[in-house]
Amino acid sequence: MPEARTPAQIEADIVRRREQLAETLDEIGVRMHPKTIIGDAKARVASTVDHTAGRAFAAVNRTVTDLQAGFRSQDGSPRFERIVPVALLAAGVVGLLVVASRRKR
């Protein structure tokens, strides 16, 4: 049979549990405070935006690197057999856009 506790021990347990409860209620109050909730939401949004922006930057960087690799040989010199047709195509598209915009006027 367990030993009987003294009134002082029971009172000390009550005081300890009361302090623990007060601490828990303080934590809940901080977590549920509107500023804390808004701050947490802002942090989540910022993290998501940073993550998305980082992924977008990596994808663009990878695409640019791949494009550059297509227009340069392994020693780093330009590959004119690929550059010239693309430049001519771009000039043609720009020319068509200029002609089309002048026709509308």
Q: What DSSP letter does each residue of 8-41 carry, written as one string?
A: HHHHHHHHHHHHHHHHHHHHHHHHHSHHHHHHHH
Phi and psi torsions of 5, nearest 5°: -90, 150
Domain of residue 96: give its range: 78-105
Question: In the chain, which residues have pLDDT < 50?
Answer: none
> Tell me, what's the pLDDT at 76?
84
pLDDT at 23: 95
Residue 32 lies in a domain: no
pTM of the model: 0.47
What pLDDT, on a 0 to 100 scale, did the predictor assign at position 84? Answer: 92
How many domains would you assign to the chain?
1
Is 96 a domain residue?
Answer: yes
> Rounded to an integer, what distance in angstroms lies between the CA atom of residue 98 and that of residue 87?
16
Q: Is residue 37 part of a domain?
A: no
Residue 92 located in a structural domain: yes
95 in any annotated domain: yes
